[in-house]
Structure formats: C-alpha cells, structure tokens
Amino acid sequence: MCDYCASHGGKLRWYLNPENYSDRFLDDKKRMKILYDITGWGIDQYLDHATKLSKKAKIPILGGLVRKIGNYIVPNKHSGQVVNLRDAFKIVDLADNLCILDCVCRKNIRGSKEGVCINFGPIKELFQKLKPSEKIEVITPNEAKDLIKKSDKRGFYHQVLYAKLPYPVVLCNCDSNSCTAYKLRFNFGIERGMMKGHEVGILDEKKCDGCEYQKAPLCLHYCQFGAIKWNSNERIIQIDKNMCFGCGLCVTHCPKGAISLQKRINFPEIKQMW
C-alpha cells in the first residue's frame, strides 16, 4: 500500500475509507483555507504558487531542495492520486453533494472551458457563496458515473484530489496537456503532485495481435504516461511497470482484452514506487 493508505486507509485505500469523507475534517482551519482558495478566486493565486514552486524546482542544485520541500508540503495542500475506473465509481458512491465545475487546469493552461471535474463535499456550497454568477451543475451518482465513463472513452485518466490529506474533494478526468498535477510530477519532479495508482497494466501476450486492423496500437495511443512501447519487429507492445500509473486507459481501449490491471503490491520491483 502507499503511505497515504498506511496513514489514512484503515485496511482500505485512503480514498475508499468512508471515514475520510467525514464533515469533522472541516473543523480544521488550514483545510478550510485551502477549500476557500481552490473554490473561490484564490485558485488563481494557488496555481500561481504551484507554477513558481515548479520553476524553482528546475534550478540546478537548489532544485533538489525545492523538490524535497514540495513533496513534503503537497500532502498538506491540494493534490491527488491516479485511480482506475472501478475506484472512480466507488468514490462517487462514497461522496455527497456531487456537482460539476469547469476544470481550472484547462482554463489556466489552455484557456478552454470544460465541465469534467466532479466536485463533492463542501465545494458546492462554497462555490455558490464565492462565485454566485458562475455555472455549477448538480448531478446524481449515476450521472457522475456516466461522465467518468465518457471521459474514459475520450482518453482522460481519473484522479482523486484531496484538500489536505486525507479529505477527498474532487474526482477529475484529465489529460497530460492540461493537468497541473501531471506537470508538477513530470515537468518538475514533484512526485506528490500526482501519485501513481494502486495497479499496473499487465499484458497477456497471447491475446495481443498488435492492433492488426487499426492504424496504430490503441493502448499506445491512449497511454499518457509513456509506459507502453511498440516492438515493430514482433508486432507487440511492452508495458514498463515502472512507468505505469495504473490509470486503466489501455484496458478500456484494447479491442482484444489483452491488458488487465493487477495490484502494484504484487510486484516486488515496483511495490514501493508511487
């Protein structure tokens, strides 16, 4: 298990532990400040801080220290972990006050508006209070699952975000071009910005036909983490378990059912790699 689960999961994954959705977490003033920031106009300042921290993480020598500090402070702020489709469904069943808001990462990075972030807990009430003129769509768990399923088909991975661990507040459907968390990890080396998920994709070579009738291997096309390599001589793919985030997009899109998700902890070489 990851250290988030060790500290906050009981015997479950931290985001599947019903206790972590309790309102008692709202008594924490620091958490409330984060919730106000990420829900209200403070989000711009919040993203600005993340960008500044990230830039410093690239400076030679000093960058190592900045990354260490970043990894230390992120769990006390706002970030998350990749989850597979099945866990994403379980999260919306555990959460209450589901609502869709436009994705702030897409707005910030690409200037586009897209309602793909499922928010829950106190966010709805806070958003209505802080941004009364902005659009908010209240949804049922089934509508949330439909959005997650459609996003999965579109090639968006799912990530559960906390407002100070272990309190989950958002299930986002994102892509590597837009996602601030992805950039924190991949562009600037702050791993806690986006933790790997609990599974890895494993190939059943007997079932893979190299997407013979497709223009390109579909799993390769949909993997946003660089974990899949194409062996053109043997016309087969290989999955690098070290690089796999367990998002499951390759599983969804493989027409042959050749990839399954298996628990990270069953593979000694990667079980501590989050």
Residues that bind ligand SF4 (CB under 6 A): 201, 203, 208-211, 217-219, 222-223, 225, 227-228, 237, 239, 244-250, 254, 256, 258-259
Q: Are 237 and 217 in contact (CB under 8 A)?
A: yes
CA atoms within 13 A on the CB side of 260: 6
List alpha helices for the chain, DSSP H: 3-8, 29-39, 42-56, 62-73, 85-94, 104-110, 123-130, 141-154, 180-186, 218-222, 249-253
Rank residues 27 and 213 by Cβ distance to ligand SF4 and give the closer one.
Answer: 213
Instruction: Name residue, tokens 């996003």.
Output: 151
Rounded Cα distance, 155 and 152, in Å: 5
Torsion of CA 135, 141, 145, 146, to 10 degrees: -60
Residue 237 C-beta: closest distance to ligand SF4, Å: 5
Structure tokens at 271: 């079980």
Residue 32 C-beta: closest distance to ligand SF4, Å: 34
Rank residues 91 and 163 by Cβ distance to ligand SF4 and give the closer one.
Answer: 91
Residue 270 C-beta: closest distance to ligand SF4, Å: 11
Rank residues 83 and 170 by Cβ distance to ligand SF4 and give the closer one.
Answer: 83
Residue 208 C-beta: closest distance to ligand SF4, Å: 3
Measure Cα distances from 105 to 45, 51, 102, 149 in Å: 13, 12, 9, 20
Rank residues 98 and 239 by Cβ distance to ligand SF4 and give the closer one.
Answer: 239
**Which helix (DSSP H) or strand (DSSP E) does residue 201 occupy?**
strand 199-203
Rounded Cα distance, 72 and 66, in Å: 10
Rank residues 35 and 254 by Cβ distance to ligand SF4 and give the closer one.
Answer: 254
From the CA atom positions of the chain, what is the Rg in Å? Answer: 19
Residue 112 C-beta: closest distance to ligand SF4, Å: 23
Rank residues 161 and 258 by Cβ distance to ligand SF4 and give the closer one.
Answer: 258
Residue 199 C-beta: closest distance to ligand SF4, Å: 7
Rank residues 104 and 116 by Cβ distance to ligand SF4 and give the closer one.
Answer: 116
Q: Are 43 and 155 in contact (CB under 8 A)?
A: no
Residue 84 C-beta: closest distance to ligand SF4, Å: 8
